[in-house]
Homo-oligomer: A and B are copies of this chain.
Amino acid sequence: MQKVIAWQNGAIKLLDQRRLPLKVEYLACKKVEDLAVAIEGLAVRGAPLIGIAGAYGLVLGVWHSDAKNLGADFRKSYRRIKRTRPTAVNLFWALDRMEARFNSLIKSGVAAGSFKKKLLQAALDIHHDDAVTCGLIGRYGAELIKKNAVIITHCNTGELATGGIGTALGVISIAHKMGRVRSVYVDETRPLLQGARLTTWELARQKIPATLICDNMAASLMAAGKIDCAIVGADRICANGDFANKIGTYSLAVNARYHGVPFYVAAPLSTFDVALADGSRIPIEQRKPDEVRRFGQCRTAPGKIAVFNPSFDVTPGKLVSAMITEKGVIRPPFGRAIKGISG
């Protein structure tokens, strides 16, 4: 497994996902600002992985602090990392978990050197827990996959998005190991092509048969009966099952519903935000127009054309057949089911 993120010698080493699949390059974040910029620029992305990165970022923020500055440096780092990306709730979940640990360490009166090590351990635990969570999600989700399944997926939800084998892509990996996956259609996922660049890369490494498509092709594949199910991740799931995920997810869900194709969402409990009643409350990150006008160095649209570039869309819970979490599979009605697992 490629090291996607690691704490190394007082810095955060990150696989730079913007360079994939053509180049495998690493960044070393030595300051919180480096880490924040890496998150904002999608060098590191994927809801659970953003949370893990944020957790390490808070450790980085105090790693060189004097005892008297621990609190101020922590809070400053917290504020900076919190504002990197607004949609994926896993980031805030991780930051708040780290903050709780920080506060309890302060209360316990631990000496500075030991303090930092224990705070680092909290981040390492978040990282490790996510790997365990992925394994559970993979195991529960694989049960939904029937023999010889042809699956469609969107964005990237694998090792490059989590601390483990992934969420939706983790389900695919486990199901494939169980001999249940015939092949996977990969939505390229414009504008930033996480499907084309990252998911294809991961599937190729696992030797899972995969076919890359443009996002606008899923509908005709479904109409031709070529897709057995769709499985995606999530960035934030509300109390009623509405969820935000990478832009294009909602279009896929509508097509799945229209064609009677089961539509599954795989996500850890850290993605659930039950304080939000429904999807209309989810903040949707808008990103720079040039992501649509170009890709990388290739400009394709006129420079001045207005652009709409929301990074996420919201899918109503009513379009979801089942959700797969580390506590098992939940089914509609989601309001009740989510209450049941969130306790």
Residues of A within 8 A of B (CB): 21-22, 185, 187-191, 193, 196-197, 200-201, 204, 209-221, 223, 247-248, 250-252, 254-255, 257-258, 292-293, 295-302, 304-310, 313-314
**A193–B257 CA distance with the chains assembled, in angstroms:** 27
CB contact between A214 and one of B22, B191, B250 (< 8 Å): that residue = B191
Residue of B nearest to A195 (CB): B301
Supposing A188-B190, A314-B220 touch, asked if A200 and B251 sit within 8 A by C-beta, the answer is no
Q: Say how far A343's CB is from chain B's closest CB, in angstroms.
A: 31
B301 and A21 contact, CB distance less than 8 A? yes
Q: What's the Cα separation between A211 and B247 when bound, in Å?
A: 16
- Known contacts A209-B306, A293-B212, A295-B295; is-contact A301 B197 (Cβ 8 Å): yes
**Do B251 and A218 touch (CB < 8 A)?**
yes
User: CA A248 – CA B193 in complex, angstroms?
Assistant: 17
Report chain B residues within 8 Å CB of A215.
Answer: 190, 214-216
Enumerate chain B residues within 8 angstroms of A305, measured Cβ to Cβ.
Answer: 200, 204, 210-212
Residue of B nearest to A200 (CB): B305
Query: Max chain B CB contacts within 10 Å: which of A247, A306, A314?
Result: A306
* Nearest CB in chain B to that of A196: its residue: B301
Contacts of A296 in B (CB 8 A): 295, 298-300
B292–A213 contact, CB under 8 A?
yes
